[in-house]
Structure 1
Amino acid sequence: MSEIGIYFGSKLITIVETKGRRVMKHVQIPQSQIIGVGFEEEKVPEELKLVSVLKETLQKNEFDQKEAAICVSGKDLIIRTFDMPFIPGNELISAVNFEAKKYIPFKIEDLISDFQTQADKVGKRNFILFVGIKKETLDKYLSVFNELNIKISGMEYSAFSLLRLVHMAGIKEKGIISILGVDLKEDDEANFLVLRNGFPLFSRDIIFSGDSPLTSFEGIQIDPALKLEKLKAELRISLDFYNRKFPSQKIDSIFFISSNEFKAELELYVKERGLVSKFIDSEKFLGKTSTYSLSLLKAYSSSLSPAIRPKTRIDLLQAKSKVQLAQTTAIRHGFAFSLSALKINPKAVFFALAIWALPNLYGYYKKTPLNNELRMVTGQRIQIPGIGATLNYEALKQVTLKYNTKAAVINKLLNNQVYLTEIIDAIPRNMPKGLWLGSLDFKNDRAEKDRHELVLAGYAYLEQRDKELESINDLASALKSDPVFSKYFKYIVIQSIERTSDRDKNKELSTFTIYCRTY
């Protein structure tokens, strides 16, 4: 019988079908294909896009299994390790959850979590491996596979899936060893694990590019040589951090799950760090014809979960089922307890009914005359068109508010209206002999209540240019001195004076423009 393993990576989704331990077929889906899938609605939930692409891929490649094991990248999980004193089994769950709160950035109630312990009998302490996933993230995966009509047989951290390759390679897990899964050509996260007798002490994910699924497939590929340098730097950071956290737990050797292309460089680097390096041959699992792919190995390892059970037994699906069962049981027990404890006392029932009935009857007795008076007053109302006689107080308040709003709008229009008759009358009263207006332009700024402008354009003819200039200046000065005009227009200035010819009368005259504004 064949099995399916699916790896949900940050940049790739990989599906593998195996029979026994042999790869039958596999397919990879770029995450960018899911983001760019064509939907008319822009705000289509990610789950629906994922369902659409997965369904099409499974049908096209003839994957017809109804059950699949999945593994997810570290970005979807919270993985922490810490130690605690020996605690009785009935108190362990609550104690672990309480301790885990110190190491996670959000509420423990928002997680579905599971943990595994390793006893240190000498130090009388428990070492805890805690793994959690946000409820909304887990529900997304469950929703997707429910739509695909595929049962999830198990969900695990992709780095833990790779431990099956360690088992298949015949590597003894006794002592302290580290595992590094890396692919310098495929833009997947690298995983660094440290194991003590097969139990994870420390884990870290190494990202080579941005978190966006579009980075690798629609952007510029990162050169493998640059990735190798970043891997060395990140490995140094990981080892230094591990040695500070576990100074007495020295790593014996590092096992690489990687292609052979950069084997020499990695061996040299690890040797400089004083460690022994060993490489796990992936061709034993994928075959010599397959190109090395870390995401393919993760999906392959996940598909082997029914056959190979690693020492790391974290089951997030079972943890979710336990939470749901506990909630259902608590509701049932609470309801059963409330019914069994309920005893009916006739006297108490009669007393309760009396307490309820007496105030209601008294209230009805007191309201009756008031209601009669209200109906009489309502009937005597003056009939006003558009206002019903039966309107209550709240309805009348709404009518009043409506009319007040209209009145306020009318008042605003009236108050903001500019009356220019008296102001404009000041112009001819101050106009010197030999000057006359050609045009008058008034501008009202509707956005600003008190910002208005007036432009006076006219002519001057006194046979001599000097006298014409003097008369134009006299007009500007007279307007500035006029109490009515200057009260409204604060700024008055001669904007231009030019000489022009009157062709009809064959005369030279002056044109002028006086600019006035209220601000």
Structure 2
Amino acid sequence: MDLFKPKRIVSIDIGSRNIKITLLEKKGEENYLKNYSILSLPEKFEYGGFVSFQLEDEVIAQLIGWALREAGISEKNVILTLPFSSSFSKVFQIPPIDTRELKKAINFESRKYIPGKFEEFMTYWEIFKFHDDPKENWSVFLLAFPKTFLEKYSKVANLGKLKVKGFYFENTCIGKLLESPEWVALVDFGHLNSIISFSSKGQVKYSKILSLNGQKLTSLYSTVLSLDFLRAENFKENFGIKIGPENKDLQTSVISFLNNFLTEIEREINDFEKANRVSVEKIYFYGGNSTLKGMIEYFASFFKERKVFILNPFLKIKYPKDLEQIINKRGLLLATSLAAGYCFLNS
């Protein structure tokens, strides 16, 4: 137990459209959301995004500082999430050696796969077995993130006089909010990237970026309706896929898009099940596009052989009663920030 670890942490998730901030506190065995902020990026930045590093460090620091002040958050200890799209990932095997030798073996093997000098990357890995078999190889899910990018994040925090206590990949902590003993698929239907991950017992053990995302869906609305991108985004958020018969062409195009998206998810699940001799019966969706009107109902109708859910990021995190209304409306946007904060406080 780390007696000097902060019991309160600000978790910052900088996405392509929003900056999501949560203030979490641990009391005994309980975790509490004390405050939060969701800051929509200015229109001129919105479709570039921090993930592509198009914003100046000073601008990002100012935006975060403004969001913290507006929410009344004075805590200076922070963690930041790292975009999976900017990382390198690999799953590899290690023979069933003594557990005391694993760390040394993983560090040795990792050097073979990282595309560059090992010292130039921050690495993270999960080690596991798919089955309770002493003869089975260890599987390692490796993630590596360029330290040059980490310097940008650190500079942003320093400009805001914040104290960085850690970095967490955006996709690796979500499983901790469920800790399901069975294998589940976690799908982040994001704006610039959609990510599918597979988790068991709280560990995310494989992730992959999918080919379709919310931005491409908005582009479809824009093309069919002859609207500029921002108006198309507003239309999508207002109506979702409950478009109505007066927009039959759009309805047909959107359903085709979703079928392609969900077919890709089903294919990834089937491949994962076959390769590892496991069963994935549940799919949890999160990310802003998952909550569009009619979306989850359509997902459920598509996956007839699997159970479909919207992820509840508050299964292990309590929040004040006066936040309930806004949490019900926008809480899913906080999922990645909440998960990273939970990981920090409970590791």
Aligned counterparts of 2:204 and 2:306: Cα–Cα separation in 1: 19
Aligned counterparts of 1:302 and 1:288: Cα–Cα separation in 2: 23
Aligned counterparts of 1:279 and 1:57: Cα–Cα separation in 2: 27
Query: Once the 2 structures are TM-superposed, how far is the Cα of residue 141 of structure 1 from its aligned partner?
Result: 0.5
Residue in structure 2 matched with residue 5 of structure 1 by the alignment: 11
Equivalent positions of 1:142-157 (< 5 A) are 142-157=154-169
Matched position secondary structure for 1:239: helix
Aligned counterparts of 1:69 and 1:90: Cα–Cα separation in 2: 25
Q: Among 324, 333, 341, which residue is 1:295 paired with?
A: 333
Alignment of 1:70 with 2:80, yes or no, is: yes
Q: Among 171, 175, 178, which residue is 1:159 paired with?
A: 171
Residue in structure 1 matched with residue 271 of structure 2 by the alignment: 244
Equivalent positions of 1:186-225 (< 5 A) are 187=191, 189-206=193-210, 207-209=213-215, 218=230, 220-221=232-233, 223=236, 224-225=240-241
Preserved contact between residue 296 and residue 309 of structure 2 (Cα < 8 Å): no
Matched position secondary structure for 2:185: strand
Query: Once the 2 structures are TM-superposed, how far is the Cα of residue 270 of structure 1 from its aligned partner?
Result: 1.0
Matched position secondary structure for 1:292: helix
Residue in structure 1 matched with residue 50 of structure 2 by the alignment: none
Residue in structure 2 matched with residue 255 of structure 1 by the alignment: 284
Query: Once the 2 structures are TM-superposed, how far is the Cα of residue 182 of structure 1 from its aligned partner?
Result: 3.6
Amino acid at match of 1:142: S
Residues 219 and 161 (structure 1), Cα distance of their counterparts in 2 relative to 1, 3 Å cut: farther
Aligned counterparts of 2:38 and 2:215: Cα–Cα separation in 1: 23
Matched position secondary structure for 2:343: coil
Number of aligned residues: 285
Structure 2 unaligned residues grouped into runs of 5+:
1-6, 26-30, 48-53, 217-221, 223-227, 242-252, 318-322
Residue in structure 2 matched with residue 124 of structure 1 by the alignment: 136
Query: Once the 2 structures are TM-superposed, how far is the Cα of residue 139 of structure 1 from its aligned partner?
Result: 0.9
Query: Once the 2 structures are TM-superposed, how far is the Cα of residue 217 of structure 1 from its aligned partner?
Result: 7.5
Amino acid at match of 2:105: L
Matched position secondary structure for 1:202: strand
Residues 233 and 107 (structure 1), Cα distance of their counterparts in 2 relative to 1, 3 Å cut: farther
Equivalent positions of 1:284-363 (< 5 A) are 287-290=324-327, 291-292=329-330, 294-309=332-347
Query: Once the 2 structures are TM-superposed, how far is the Cα of residue 94 of structure 1 from its aligned partner?
Result: 4.0
Deviations 1:359-386 (A, max 9, x none): xxxxxxxxxxxxxxxxxxxxxxxxxxxx
Deviations 1:402-440 (A, max 9, x none): xxxxxxxxxxxxxxxxxxxxxxxxxxxxxxxxxxxxxxx
Preserved contact between residue 20 and residue 333 of structure 2 (Cα < 8 Å): yes
Query: Once the 2 structures are TM-superposed, how far is the Cα of residue 243 of structure 1 from its aligned partner?
Result: 2.8
Residues 149 and 277 (structure 1), Cα distance of their counterparts in 2 relative to 1, 3 Å cut: same
Aligned counterparts of 2:282 and 2:39: Cα–Cα separation in 1: 32
Query: Once the 2 structures are TM-superposed, how far is the Cα of residue 27 of structure 1 from its aligned partner?
Result: 2.9
Aligned counterparts of 1:94 and 1:3: Cα–Cα separation in 2: 30
Aligned counterparts of 1:72 and 1:31: Cα–Cα separation in 2: 21
Deviations 1:271-306 (A, max 9, x none): 1xx223344446876723332354322223333334
Question: Given the two structures, how large is their TM-score scaled by the length of structure 1?
Answer: 0.48
Aligned-CA RMSD value: 3.5
Amino acid at match of 1:97: S
Identical residues among aligned pairs (%)? 13
Aligned counterparts of 1:114 and 1:231: Cα–Cα separation in 2: 33
Residue in structure 1 matched with residue 306 of structure 2 by the alignment: 275
Aligned counterparts of 1:23 and 1:130: Cα–Cα separation in 2: 33
Aligned counterparts of 2:184 and 2:141: Cα–Cα separation in 1: 17
Residues 31 and 131 (structure 1), Cα distance of their counterparts in 2 relative to 1, 3 Å cut: farther
Aligned counterparts of 1:136 and 1:5: Cα–Cα separation in 2: 21
Residues 78 and 287 (structure 1), Cα distance of their counterparts in 2 relative to 1, 3 Å cut: farther
Query: Once the 2 structures are TM-superposed, how far is the Cα of residue 125 of structure 1 from its aligned partner?
Result: 0.9
Aligned counterparts of 2:271 and 2:174: Cα–Cα separation in 1: 26
Matched position secondary structure for 1:79: strand
Deviations 1:98-151 (A, max 9, x none): 3424xx5x5545422122211464443110010111111111111111222211
Residues 115 and 280 (structure 1), Cα distance of their counterparts in 2 relative to 1, 3 Å cut: closer
Residues 301 and 196 (structure 1), Cα distance of their counterparts in 2 relative to 1, 3 Å cut: closer
Equivalent positions of 1:501-516 (< 5 A) are none
Matched position secondary structure for 1:136: helix
Q: Which has the larger radius of gyration?
A: 1
Aligned counterparts of 1:74 and 1:142: Cα–Cα separation in 2: 18
Alignment of 1:85 with 2:57, yes or no, is: no
Aligned counterparts of 1:157 and 1:287: Cα–Cα separation in 2: 28
Amino acid at match of 2:335: L
Structure 1 unaligned residues grouped into runs of 5+:
37-43, 168-172, 310-519
Query: Once the 2 structures are TM-superposed, how far is the Cα of residue 6 of structure 1 from its aligned partner?
Result: 0.9
Q: Among 241, 257, 260, which residue is 1:233 paired with?
A: 260
Residues 300 and 31 (structure 1), Cα distance of their counterparts in 2 relative to 1, 3 Å cut: farther
Amino acid at match of 2:301: L
Alignment of 1:139 with 2:151, yes or no, is: yes
Q: Among 96, 104, 114, which residue is 2:109 paired with?
A: 96
Query: Once the 2 structures are TM-superposed, how far is the Cα of residue 307 of structure 1 from its aligned partner?
Result: 3.4
Preserved contact between residue 16 and residue 46 of structure 2 (Cα < 8 Å): no
Residues 177 and 143 (structure 1), Cα distance of their counterparts in 2 relative to 1, 3 Å cut: same
Aligned counterparts of 2:106 and 2:43: Cα–Cα separation in 1: 40
Query: Once the 2 structures are TM-superposed, how far is the Cα of residue 154 of structure 1 from its aligned partner?
Result: 2.3
Residue in structure 1 matched with residue 183 of structure 2 by the alignment: 176
Query: Once the 2 structures are TM-superposed, how far is the Cα of residue 50 of structure 1 from its aligned partner?
Result: 1.6
